[in-house]
Structure 1
Amino acid sequence: MPTILYRNDQKISPADVMKIAVYAEHVGRQCYDVFAEDGSRSRSEALSRRARDVSNALDFGDEPYLSLETTKNVLDLRDMVSGMCFDRFGERGHMGKTMDLLGMARDVDDVLDKLVVYHLSPEEMQEAEAAWAHEGQFFPKDRR
């Protein structure tokens, strides 16, 4: 598990805060993470609470600052949504993530890059490099 360091010298804008707000709003209204055998779906209390906590804690001022707790809440929400949380549903139980949700998640990741720094131990770095090498074999080779 990487060590996460939180930055005190945040360089975020009101637009960055709005990206997080839009994401939390979408998740709180459109995403589901509990699925029943009969095909019904619902939102867990944990997902609802995390989206609500993020929304309620955002600073929309001219010089926004996200507290350590708020940043942790954004990370927790992002981690939960990146797992078994979906906002697109089709026939025969198909579940997926819309391009809108994926784009919002990318925007949130960009904001989080301004708020946190990840440090990997040497063992974690080795594992990550091995995973990247394995995944890299599935990408097309550059043919120059």
Structure 2
Amino acid sequence: MPTILYKNDQNISPDDVMKIAVYAEHVGRQCYDVFAEDGSRSRSDVLSRRAQAVSDSLDFGNEPYFPPETTKKVLDLHAMVSGMCFDRFGERGHMGKSMDLLGMAQDVDDVLDKLVSYHLSPEELKEAEADWAHEGQFFSKDDISGDETDSRRGV
């Protein structure tokens, strides 16, 4: 598990706080994490409490600050939503994450980059590099660099 260091110089804007608030609101109203075999879904008490805890702890002042306790709440909610938490449902039990939720999750990642630093042990770093090398084999060099190939342009 990486070591998480909380930053004191956060450079957080009111827009950043709003991004977290919108994310927590969406998760608390639109996301589900408990699924029954009959196709029904519900929101666990843990998910509801985490979303509410994030909302309750936000500083909407002109110069907001995220104390470590608030940052931990955001990290916990974000980790839970990244897993088995969905807001889009289709036929035959299809579950997914909407583009809205994925965009909000990216916004939260961007804000978290201002709040925390992750430090990996040498073993974790080696494992992460091995995972990246493994995952990287499934992408063409152009996918990694961002250059468009003819196949990606549809030519």
Moved segments of 4+, more than 3 Å: none
The normalised TM-score by structure 2 is 0.91
Give the superposition deviation at 1:9.
1.3
Inter-partner Cα distance in structure 1 for 2:42 and 2:73: 21
Q: Which letter does structure 1 place at the counterpart of 2:51?
A: A
Please state how far the C-alpha of 1:50 moved relative to its aligned partner: 0.2
**1:29-88 per-position Cα deviation (integer Å, ceiling 9, x unaligned):** 000000011100000000000000000100000000011111000000000000000000
CA distance in 2, matches of 1:104, 1:96: 15
Larger radius of gyration: 2
State the superposition RMSD in angstroms. Answer: 1.2
Alignment match, 1:115: 115
Give the distance between the partners of 2:24 and 2:91, measured in 1 at CA.
Answer: 27
The match for 2:91 is 91
Normalised by the length of structure 1, the TM-score is 0.98
Deviation at 1:8, TM superposition (A): 1.1
SS of the residue 2:59 aligns to: coil
Task: Give, in whole Å, the separation in 1 of the partners of 2:20 and 2:139.
Answer: 31
Q: Which amino acid aligns with 1:138?
A: F
Q: Which residue of 2 aligns with 1:82?
A: 82
Unaligned ranges ≥5, structure 1: none
Count of residues in Structure 1 that have an aligned counterpart in Structure 2? 144
Superposition deviation, residue 10 in structure 1: 1.2
In the alignment, structure 2 segments of 5+ residues that lack a partner are 150-155
- The whole-number CA distance in structure 1 between the counterparts of 2:141 and 2:14 is 40
SS at match of 2:141: coil
Question: 1:103 matched to which residue of 2?
Answer: 103
2:38 corresponds to which letter in structure 1? D
2:32 counterpart SS class: coil
Distance 1:65 1:12 in 2: 7
Structure 2 Cα separation of the partners of residues 19 and 86 of structure 1: 19
**Aligned residue in 2 for 1:65:** 65
